[in-house]
Structure 1
Amino acid sequence: MSELIRKPNLDHVDDVYQQLLQMHEGLDEAQSLKVCARLILALANHIGDSEVVLSAIELARARPAPAAG
């Protein structure tokens, strides 16, 4: 099993971010959620390691710690 990479590991991150934003243009909320789900499933399939995908789900669901102050 591979471990989930948690440090920045994506080339052309700004281009990818822009494409992610554009992916939602002209879509209503339901369509936007469906396209996100299809993207997630495509990437999960590409990863091919359910333990890594489950680690990513756990990370995504984690709530950030409250700010000190």
Structure 2
Amino acid sequence: MSQLNTQSNFNVPDAFYERLISAHRDLTTNESNAMNAALVLLLSNHIGDLNVISQALDEARRSVMAEA
């Protein structure tokens, strides 16, 4: 059973963050939300392991619920 890796896996995390912010620049809120949804689907397809994807979805949901 594959396990979700929640440790940083980036050589240069700031470069990823800058790229992510840049990809959203000049998008409307709706376009930004649609881009996020497309990104989730693309990366989920790349991962291809429903167990890992389920763990990621659960973890992401917990992180949002904790902010409320």
Q: Higher helix share goes to which structure?
A: 2
Across the aligned residues of Structure 1 and Structure 2, the Cα RMSD in angstroms comes to: 1.4
Tell me the matched-pair count. Answer: 65
Q: Which runs of 4+ in 1 moved over 2 A?
A: none
Taking only the aligned residue pairs, the percentage that are identical comes to 35
| 1:10-64 superposed Cα distances (whole Å, 9 cap, x missing partner) | 2221111001001111111000001111111111111110110010000011133
Scaled by the length of structure 2, what TM-score is found? 0.86
Output the CA distance in 2 between the equivalents of 1:12 and 1:5.
17
Structure-1 separation of matches of 2:49 and 2:24: 27
TM-score when scaled to structure 1?
0.84
Structure label with greater radius of gyration: 1
